[in-house]
Structure 1
Amino acid sequence: MPEQPFTYPEVGATRADTAPAGYHRFRHRRPIGHGRALFDRAADHVLGFGMQRGVGILRHTDTEAARPGTELTVRLGFGPFGFTAPCRVVYVLDEPNRRGFAYGTLPGHPEIGEELFAVEFDPTDDTVYGLVTAFSRPGAWYVRLGGPVVRLIQRWFAHRYLRTLPTSN
């Protein structure tokens, strides 16, 4: 069976500091603690889909850890008012001071866009940061109808994702 195409042409654009034209962008970054050991633990958590598992939305993934091409589904919504959203990992960050992955939306996802989940290590002061950044636009009528409320929910999820990360004691 051929691979489903992404629902947007700007695949990989979360690598940039700006969103492609026509998309809403958000970025949430916060310190979670200090030290290389924490960075390594947090990176393992992110790459093992720990953020999605931690907020209870992960339904299925092809691999235990994020790899380019891994397909996953998340369940979004509240109670009976939810939907399954298919995604695919676009790229994996495996840099000395930055690790994580981005996934993009596939047909059937109510939004169109990409989201990056990462941890960053600042070697100047040993601070470890959690990062969630995304660009998106409505892909379904009900998301369009939700307007600003949908963006508030995205930000709420970003805060919840970062709360799943391990912290230093």
Structure 2
Amino acid sequence: MTVSYPDPKDFTYAEVGATREPGHCPPGFRPLHVRTRLGEGEDVFRRASEAVLTWEMHRAMGVGIDATADRAAPGVDVTVTLAGMIKAPCRVVWTLEEPRRAGWAYGTLPGHPESGEESFVVDRTGDGTVWLTVNAFSRAAKWYAKAGGPATRGFQHAYARRCGTVLRNLCRQGGEPA
């Protein structure tokens, strides 16, 4: 795992890198954990890992991605654009590239509608099953995220589930997004 945190004062939360510990949620934040089965085998693992590490999964979901590098790496700035108008600036805080696990996490920067961190990790279990796990902790930062209340939380869960659906489809023959 590569861990090289940029200056924590740049982020909108204190526990930069906390998504490295599955199940850890800092006080005052809401946890999110969504795990999706992608398929089986080394080819699925490699395809899924590459799609996650190169922003392909996010782009296939139809969200705008403006990144300062073609591949996730600590310190890379990423702005996610939702619905063509909501801009969510983030910075990659850690990456992971191991024989059976690959992924990264980004943390929120000023201007993001939420405050917190989200990770996207592909892993291949001992039986060969390949999974995408999205872990996050967050709290509303902008007025419209606060006003959205439970709807905002529902959107976050739907987004995480959609990540899994899109990535599973990218791993199938032809790789067309859902």
SS at match of 2:15: coil
Deviation at 1:121, TM superposition (A): 0.4
Q: 1:44 offset after TM fit, Å?
A: 0.4
Instruction: Specify the alignment match of 1:107 in structure 2.
Output: 110
2:36–2:133: 8 Å Cα contact kept in structure 1? yes
Tell me the distance in 1 between the aligned counterparts of 2:86 and 2:39: 35
Instruction: Indicate whether 1:44 and 2:44 are aligned.
Output: no
Q: How many residues align?
A: 164
Unmatched runs of 5 consecutive residues or more in structure 1: none
Of the three residues 21, 24, 28, the one matched with 2:30 is: 24
- 2:126 aligned with 1:120: no
Cα-to-partner distance string for 1:2-55 (whole Å, 9 max, x where unaligned): x77011111001111221111001111021110012101110000001221111
Letter in 2 for 1:65: R
For 2:171, the equivalent position in structure 1 comes to 167
Q: CA RMSD in A?
A: 1.7
Unpaired segments of 5 or more residues in structure 2? 1-6, 174-178
SS at match of 1:158: helix
1:137 to 2:142 alignment = no
Deviating beyond 2 angstroms after TM superposition, the runs of 4 or more aligned structure 1 residues are 166-169
Question: Does residue 6 of structure 1 match 2:8?
Answer: no
> CA, structure 1 residues 59+40, in 2 after alignment: closer, same or farther (shift >3 Å)?
closer
Q: Give the CA deviation at 1:117.
A: 0.8
C-alpha distance in 2 between matches for 1:102 and 1:23: 16
Kept after mapping to 2: 8 A contact 1:50/1:164: no
Equivalent residues of 1:34, 1:168 under 8 A apart: no
Shift of 1:83: 1.5
TM norm structure 1: 0.91
Q: Taking every aligned residue pair, what percent have the same amino acid on both sides?
A: 45
For 2:4, the equivalent position in structure 1 comes to: none
What is the CA distance between 1:58 and its match in structure 2?
2.6
Amino acid at match of 1:92: T
Between the aligned partners of 1:97 and 1:21, the Cα distance in structure 2 is 31
- CA drift of 1:133 comes to 1.2
User: Post-superposition shift, 1:132?
Assistant: 1.0
Contact 1:32–1:168 under 8 Å retained in 2: no
The one-letter amino acid of 1:156's match is A
Deviations 1:79-101 (A, max 9, x none): 6xx32111000000112211001
TM-score (norm 2): 0.86
